[in-house]
Amino acid sequence: MSPPRRPWAEAPAGTDHADLAALLARVAIGDRAAFDAMYDRVAAPVFGTVRGVVRDPGLSEEVTQEVFVEVWRAASRFDASKGSPMAWVTTIAHRRAVDRVRSEQRSAARDRRAASPMIAYDEVAETVEDNLDRDRVRRCLGTLTDLQREAVTLAYYGGYTYREVAGLLRVPAGTVSTRMRDGLIRLRDCLGAGR
């Protein structure tokens, strides 16, 4: 299935976003079949994101399960005017993953994580096979400056705070925060324009 060709706000009915939004609306009233259909569409991005941050396979599954129970519980709170359904779900997933690693900072899973600045970026390629989004995202990440790209990927795929990223990259925290913002804006524009 090809990705939508327009930004979410203009996405016509019948695109992935609209379908996913319709599924979520049905999940909100307790439709288990809609929940299954929704799961099939978003499970891979959710699990991949969680596993990237959490690392430990068992813990990743546990967090992924929590994410979907949360989606089930909170489906009525999805508001299509405030973003795409995929962004809503992946935001819940990423948040829960980082909350987990931050609350278990000293766990073995966390300690095993490598601190090399480039590792998160490289692992995008490792963990993903045959993924249409991957190529586009990788290409767009390539348009960022090194610092922007490292800041964005360490935070998102690594689950580090911007102060931790500043420590890893040995640059001031204020610089990291602006690079994260500039980098994400550029990424957003590249992904939007390149569709």
Which member of 52, 54, 56, 144 binds another protein (CB under 8 A)?
A: 52
Cα 47 from Cα 56, distance rounded (Å): 12
Of the residues 5, 6, 73, 118, which one makes contact with another protein according to CB under 8 A: 73
Element containing residue 59 per DSSP (H, E): helix 57-74
x/- track of binding to another protein for residues 86-125 (CB under 8 A): xxx-xxxxxxx-xx--x---------------------x-
Least separation, in Å, of the C-beta of 98 and another protein? Answer: 5
Q: Rounded to whole angstroms, how far apart are CA atoms 98 and 179?
A: 20
Q: How far apart are CA 52 and CA 158, in angstroms?
A: 7
Binder of another protein out of 4, 7, 143, 169 (CB under 8 A): 7
Place of tokens 């979907």: 68
- Grouping H, G, I as helix, E, B as strand and the rest as coil, residue 64 is helix
Q: How far is the CB of 112 from another protein (least distance, A)?
A: 18
Collapsing DSSP states into helix, strand and coil, what is residue 105? coil
Q: Binding string, 25-44, against another protein, x = CB under 8 A?
A: xx-xxxxxxxxxx-x---xx
- Residue 109 CA to residue 190 CA, distance in Å, equals 34
Among 5, 6, 76, 115, binds another protein (CB under 8 A): 76
Per rule CB under 8 A, count of chain residues that contact another protein: 100
Q: Applying CB under 8 A, which of residues 168, 169, 171, 184 lies at the interface with another protein?
A: 184
Does position 185 bind another protein by CB under 8 A?
A: yes
Q: Which is nearer to another protein, 31 or 119 (CB)?
A: 31
Q: List own/partner pairs for 125-129 with CB under 8 A and 24 or more apart.
A: 127/48, 127/51, 127/52, 128/48
Binds another protein by CB under 8 A, chosen from 78, 109, 117, 149: 78
72 or 119, CB closer to another protein? Answer: 72
At 120 the three-state DSSP class reads: helix
Q: Which is nearer to another protein, 35 or 56 (CB)?
A: 35
122: CB partners within 8 A, 6+ apart: none
